[in-house]
Structure 1
Amino acid sequence: MKPIIDGHNDLPMQLRARYGYSVAGLDRTTRPELHTDLPRLRAGGVGAQFWSAYVPSPLPEPEAVVATLEQVDAIYRMAAAYPEDFAMAFTADDVERAWADGKIASLIGLEGGHSLASSLGVLRMFARLGVRYVTLTHNNHTSWADSAAEEPRLDGLNDAGRAVVREMQRLGVLVDLAHVATATMHAALDVAVAPVLFSHSGVRALHDHRRNVPDDVLARLRDNGGVIQLTFVAPFVSPSARAWHAAASTEWHRLGLPSTDGDWPRAPFPGEDPASVPAWPADAPWSHPGFQSWLSANPRPVVTVADVADQVTHARDVAGIDHIGLGGDFDGTTELPAGLDDVSGYPRLFDELAGRGWSPADLDKLASGNMLRVLRESEKAASEPMWPGAGASSGV
């Protein structure tokens, strides 16, 4: 099997939330609270990872820009701390060079258009820093694009949103349609002249979740040349997991327990010990007796590798074998299928698909072949690529 290119991993968020952005210890599997470290990436066959530069969408946009820059910095520092294992990558050729050197290619995806602060200049600067995709929204609308998590307001994109999409594709930055409303998916595809991406989404025909992609959009990926990277998030994969999650949230609030989100954690101040930075309450107080009683009476439903394989297979059947990939969303969720508990689990999914008759050539396309093609086509379509080392635009 070829190395896997995964479309979405939130380890940078966890580094900020739990460790004050310290990148120490990733060469060892000593942190069970994380899904990701170097030994498990190697065991899972991950050859390239889009690291998510995520900050919450309710943040004021200027604050979001600063926090996103800190996330990008963390990705660079992580790669620099383990130069024998990670290599920053900005092109398809960079990815393949990393593989030839026995390294894991590190790419950057920016999760949420709020991090652009409605500025094409900010977009261009992130492109110069090596950001290779931007998710148009997260869980809130921007002024120019509708999110899947709120009632539609713009019928997808307004003129400013269409301008953002065009500029992204001019720069060679992939337009990521995970998290956006269905109308936004169609509006972006109407504008797109290069392949688009779903970095971590499911298929709606098997599970009618707002974060999943309907078949009419999957069918349009064939003409666009884009890729849907199927996610492992259990509530996106399984109706029973979604229902359990909703019921657990209801019980949590009924008991008056504190939010599991909390405030976005600050980064360390200059000269401050990262260990002294207050941690984000990313781990809920699950030990509360009342909630433990509810959990005992309402066990979490088991979601399986086979359930994920069903999603991948449906996407292949509708969009075509050339338009699928994987975006696990590790370290961005606590709800994962059995057997896909961390980044070491990818071979179990490939074994399941092989057992269903998938050919080695088709599994190679799923693993990385399709995403390498999308990267190359995006680079070819760009009039002024903006990753490090390329020319810079003087456009406004």
Structure 2
Amino acid sequence: MPTDAARLHRAAVIADAHNDLLMAVAVRPPEQWAGYFRARWLPQLRDGGVNLQILPVFPGRGAEPESALRRTLRMIEAAHRIAEGNADAVTLCRDAAEIDGALATGRIALVLALEGCAGLGSDVELFFTMYRLGVRVASLTHMGRTALADGSGEDAAGSGLTRAGIAAVAEMDRLGMLLDISHLGAGGVEHVLALSSGPVIATHSSARALREHHRNLTDTQLRGIATSGGVVCVNFFAPFLHESEHTIDKIVQHVEHIAGVIGIDHVGLGPDFIQEVTGDLTPLWSRGVIVEGIDPSACVPGLAGPAGLPLVTQALLRGGFSEQDTAKVLGGNVHALLRRVLKEAA
């Protein structure tokens, strides 16, 4: 790396808003959780300079609420054991002070997030249970339909939030949990922006103006998130960046577009590194299967995992972003958002 890029990457807060590594950890026996994280994932996070990691808890697609809840609790327990078994390197953070304390002592700040809430069903009171367990970010659905909302894959239904979904937004606002609109259907995004009293985040979504896919956000949706005071974190998943050109320059173009629409203060990174996780969880006989026209193993060369993040710093600087703006995109904006929302724990 050029000296200026390496220096900036070391000095900046590097925030990854979405890494599904918990899925790969929790599938192993509990006695291996902390050690596997230390051996396999901690070196990658260190090599990538990550010091603020939002950890999604995703129980998988298609599970019934009861089994999804069991998987959710297992993944949350895995996160706690990771933190307890690697206390010299990571901290599971519940509020802004704990995040800042971790950063100040050279540890990685981990923030738990529910992806999809499939295990909660319509029992909105369980958001407080999740909050007690350390969850501070949540999205209401994944690709499909939950008791709270429809995912972007259901956009043809044209639906907003359910009655339970409306109550969930109010409860998250009360608790001070950050609402994630990635994966939410178009009607749901509009509904959330009308209901929520605080900022929202898109933890891993790119620009639909550059790549027409229901998982990406329109310029109107981008403006709504910025108006709320939130942040849009660009997804690195190659098929969401371009139909065929899977290069790091495409990531820069999505950053440029989103910054051009809503301003540099509202852009972050949500890489969604899933190649290794997919490899861990997918049986050999089903690898290579195309899902919704997308190869789930596709990735931008050099960015199969967090160790490649310094390449993004280099690409942003090469693309004309100033050091100050690059630092905001790398993690400064996400850090600032979490500090605003995650005040003293309720």
TM-score range, shorter chain: 0.7 to 0.9
Partner of 1:139: helix, strand, or coil?
Answer: coil
Residue matched to 2:5:
none
| Partners of 1:312 and 1:320 in 2: CA distance | 10
Pick the structure with greater CA Rg.
1
- Residue ranges of structure 1 left out of the alignment (5+ in a row): 30-36, 241-301, 391-396
The superposition leaves residues 335-370 of structure 1 with CA deviations (integer Å, 9 ceiling, x where unpaired) of 210121211111111111111221111112112221
Which position in structure 2 is the counterpart of 1:321? 264
Moved more, 200-209 or 369-378: 369-378
Cα 1:38/1:170, change in 2 over 3 Å: same
Residue among 16, 20, 45 paired with 1:6: 16
The answer to whether the Cα contact below 8 Å between 1:57 and 1:112 also exists between their aligned partners in 2 is no
Query: SS of 2:300's equivalent?
Result: coil
Which residue identity does 1:3 align to in structure 2? V
Task: Measure the CA separation in 2 of the matches of 1:379 and 1:99.
Answer: 15
1:353 counterpart residue number: 316
Distance between the aligned counterparts of 2:326 and 2:113, measured in 1?
Answer: 24
Q: Quote the offset at 1:207 in angstroms.
A: 0.2
Match of 1:68 among 61, 68, 72: 72
Does structure 1 retain, via aligned residues, the 8 Å contact 2:141–2:148?
no
Q: Which residue of 2 aligns with 1:220?
A: 224
Contact (CA 8 Å) 1:52, 1:111: kept in 2 or not?
A: yes
Distance 1:379 1:104, change over 3 A: closer
Shift of 1:27: 3.2
- In the alignment, does 2:29 pair up with 1:15? no
Deviation for aligned residue 1:113: 2.3
C-alpha separation between the residues in 2 aligned to 1:339 and 1:320? Answer: 28
How far apart, in 2, do the equivalents of 1:312 and 1:99 lie? 25
CA contact (8 A) 2:150 2:188 kept: yes
2:39 is aligned with what amino acid? R
Counterpart Cα distance in 2 of 1:170 and 1:107: 19
Letter in 1 for 2:233: Q
Q: CA deviation at 1:154?
A: 6.0
Residue from 108, 113, 120 that aligns with 1:109:
113
Determine the structure 2 residue equivalent to 1:311: 254
| Aligned-partner Cα distance in 2 for 1:173–1:109 | 9
Find the aligned partners of 2:312 and 2:92 in 1 and give their Cα distance. 27
What CA distance in whole angstroms lies between the structure 1 residues aligned with 2:155 and 2:221? 19
Matches within 5 A, 1:148-163: 148-153=152-157, 155-163=159-167
Q: Which amino acid aligns with 1:372?
A: H
Contact 2:13–2:335 under 8 Å retained in 1: no
Q: Give runs of aligned pairs for residues 86-97 of structure 1, distance below 5 A.
A: 86-97=90-101
Deviation at 1:73, TM superposition (A): 0.5
- Contact kept? 2:234, 2:269, Cα under 8 Å: yes
User: What amino acid maps onto 1:351 in structure 2?
Assistant: Q
- For residues 189 and 235 of structure 1, what CA distance do their matches in structure 2 show? 27
> Conserved in 2, the CA contact under 8 Å of 1:145 and 1:154?
no
Residue among 204, 207, 210 paired with 1:203:
207
Q: For residues 300-323 of structure 1, what are the alpha-carbon distances to aligned partners after superposition, in whole Å with 9 as ceiling and x for unaligned?
A: xx6111111111111111121111
Q: Percent sequence identity over matched residues? A: 34
Q: How many residues align?
A: 314
Q: What's the CA shift for 1:65?
A: 1.4
Whether the 8 Å CA contact 1:146–1:184 is kept in 2: the answer is yes
Q: Distance in 2 between matches of 1:379 and 1:46?
A: 20
User: Which of the pair is proportionally richer in helix?
Assistant: 2
CA drift at 1:152: 4.3
Q: Which deviations, in whole Å up to 9, do the C-alpha atoms of 1:124-153 show, x marking residues without a partner?
A: 100111111111101211133111112544
**2:26 is matched by which residue type in structure 1?**
R
* 1:110 Cα deviation after fit: 0.6
User: Counterpart of 2:253 in structure 1: which amino acid?
Assistant: D
Write the distance in 2 (CA, Å) between the matches of 1:43 and 1:58: 35
User: Is residue 28 of structure 1 aligned with residue 32 of structure 2?
Assistant: no
**What is the rounded CA distance, in whole Å, between the counterparts of 1:231 and 1:353 in structure 2?**
15
Q: Within the alignment, does 1:47 sit opposite 2:51 as a pair?
A: yes
1:335 corresponding residue in structure 2: 298
CA distance in 1, matches of 2:122, 2:163: 12
Q: 1:187 to 1:41 in 2, by over 3 A?
A: same
Task: Quote the offset at 1:232 in angstroms.
Answer: 0.9
Quote the residue 1:59 is aligned against.
63
Q: Distance in 2 between matches of 1:93 and 1:372?
A: 12
Of 167, 191, 201, which residue of structure 1 is paired with 2:195?
191
